[in-house]
Amino acid sequence: MTTLDTGMRALRSAFVRAYDLYDRLSIALKGTMPKGLYARALLIIIAPMVLLQSVVAFVFMERHWNLVTQRLSASVVQDIAALIDVYSTFRADQAQVRRIAQERLALAVDFLPVTELPPPGPKPFFSLLDEALSQEISRRIRRPFWIDTVGRSALVEIRVRLDDTVMRVFAPRSAAYASNSHIFLVWMVGTSVVLLTVAILFLRNQIRPILRLADAAESFGKGREVPNFRPRGAREVRRAAQAFIEMKSRIERSIEQRTAMLAGVSHDLRTVLTRFKLELALIGDSPEVEAMKKDVDEMGRMLEAYLAFARGDTGEQSAPTDMAAFLDELKADGERNGHKTSVAFHGHPIVTVRPAAFKRCLANLVSNAARHAHSISITGHRDHRWLTVSVDDDGPGIPPHLREEVFKPFLRLDDARNQDEGGTGLGLAIARDIARSHGGDITLSESPLGGLRAAVRVPV
Ligand X SMILES: Nc1ncnc2c1ncn2[C@@H]1O[C@H](COP(=O)(O)OP(=O)(O)OP(=O)(O)O)[C@@H](O)[C@H]1O
Binding site for Mg ion (CB under 5 A): 368, 427
Of 70 and 390, which has the nearer Cβ to ligand X? 390
Q: Is 406 in the site for ligand X (CB under 6 A)?
A: yes
Q: Which residue is nearest to ligand X (CB)?
A: 427
413 binding partner (options ligand X, Mg ion, none; Cβ < 5 to 8 Å by kind)? ligand X
Name residues contacting ligand X, limited to 348-387 (CB under 6 A): 364, 368-369, 372
By the 8 A CB rule, do 157 and 117 touch? Answer: no
Q: Is 412 in the site for ligand X (CB under 6 A)?
A: yes
Q: Which long-range contacts (CB under 8 A, 24 or more apart) does 430-435 make?
A: 430/308, 430/309, 430/360, 430/361, 430/364, 431/360, 431/361, 431/362, 431/364, 431/365, 431/456, 432/407, 433/309, 433/312, 433/313, 434/313, 434/354, 434/357, 434/358, 434/360, 434/361, 435/361
Of 107 and 391, which has the nearer Cβ to ligand X? 391
Least Cβ distance, residue 249 to ligand X (angstroms): 31
# binding residues, ligand X (CB under 6 A): 23
Q: Which stretch binds ligand X (CB under 6 A): 58-66, 261-269, 314-322, 390-398?
A: 390-398
Of 210 and 305, which has the nearer Cβ to Mg ion? 305
Least Cβ distance, residue 427 to ligand X (angstroms): 2
Least Cβ distance, residue 414 to Mg ion (angstroms): 10
Name residues contacting ligand X, limited to 305-344 (CB under 6 A): 305
Of 72 and 398, which has the nearer Cβ to ligand X? 398
Least Cβ distance, residue 318 to ligand X (angstroms): 25
Least Cβ distance, residue 277 to ligand X (angstroms): 22
Q: Is 212 in the site for ligand X (CB under 6 A)?
A: no
CA 226 – CA 237 distance, rounded (Å):
17
393 binding partner (options ligand X, Mg ion, none; Cβ < 5 to 8 Å by kind)? ligand X
427-433-437-440 Cα dihedral, nearest 10 degrees: 80
Q: Is 84 in the site for ligand X (CB under 6 A)?
A: no
Least Cβ distance, residue 432 to ligand X (angstroms): 9
CA 329 – CA 342 distance, rounded (Å):
11
Least Cβ distance, residue 425 to Mg ion (angstroms): 8
426 binding partner (options ligand X, Mg ion, none; Cβ < 5 to 8 Å by kind)? ligand X
Name residues contacting ligand X, limited to 267-306 (CB under 6 A): 305
Out of 233, 396, 439, 459, the residue judged to bind ligand X by CB under 6 A = 396
Out of 413, 439, 445, 446, the residue judged to bind ligand X by CB under 6 A = 413
Least Cβ distance, residue 425 to ligand X (angstroms): 4
Which residues contact ligand X (rule: CB under 6 A)? Answer: 305, 364, 368-369, 372, 393, 395-398, 406, 412-414, 423-429, 451-452
